[in-house]
């Protein structure tokens, strides 16, 4: 595995750690480790920047989907300062995955996220 591949894998792992943190202190720490201080997150439902706003978006997702975890779908791919990967939101009780998407992230020189551009491929009605 190349150094750059490791960089993309590490960034994605930190990203999923943040999205799966449910305790406020752990969530805040995970967001700070994954994102640069000025980092942003944009998808069809949110357009935020900074650790506090990103933390709030993640906490809101957990409120809407309690008992669910974010899991990667397929491999992380990347070049230069950009990586992409698919994901799904999985119900830990029954294994169903009503939400799935695809994210493109740009990284800073430290390997922390500068920006996420998220796309939702599968969303349940009314969500």
DSSP 40-89: EEEETTEEEESHHHHHHHHHHHHHHSTTEEEEEEEEEEEETTEEEEEEEE
The predicted pLDDT at position 2 comes to 46
Mean pLDDT of 92-106: 97
The predicted pLDDT at position 5 comes to 77
Is the pLDDT reported for residue 127 higher than 70?
A: no
pTM summary value: 0.93
Q: Is the Cβ–Cβ distance between 72 and 49 less than 8 Å?
A: no
């Amino acid at each position: 595995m190349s150094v750059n591949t490791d960089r993309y894998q590490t960034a994605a792992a930190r990203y999923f750690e943040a999205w799966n943190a449910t305790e406020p202190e752990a969530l805040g720490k995970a967001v700070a480790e994954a994102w640069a201080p000025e980092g942003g997150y944009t998808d069809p439902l949110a357009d935020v920047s900074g650790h506090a706003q990103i933390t709030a978006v993640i906490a809101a997702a957990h409120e809407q989907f309690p008992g669910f975890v974010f899991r990667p779908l397929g491999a992380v791919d990347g070049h230069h300062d950009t990586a992409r990967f698919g994901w799904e939101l999985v119900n830990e009780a029954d294994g169903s995955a009503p939400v799935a998407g695809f994210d493109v992230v740009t990284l800073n020189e430290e390997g922390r996220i500068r920006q996420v551009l998220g796309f939702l491929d599968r969303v349940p009605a009314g969500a």
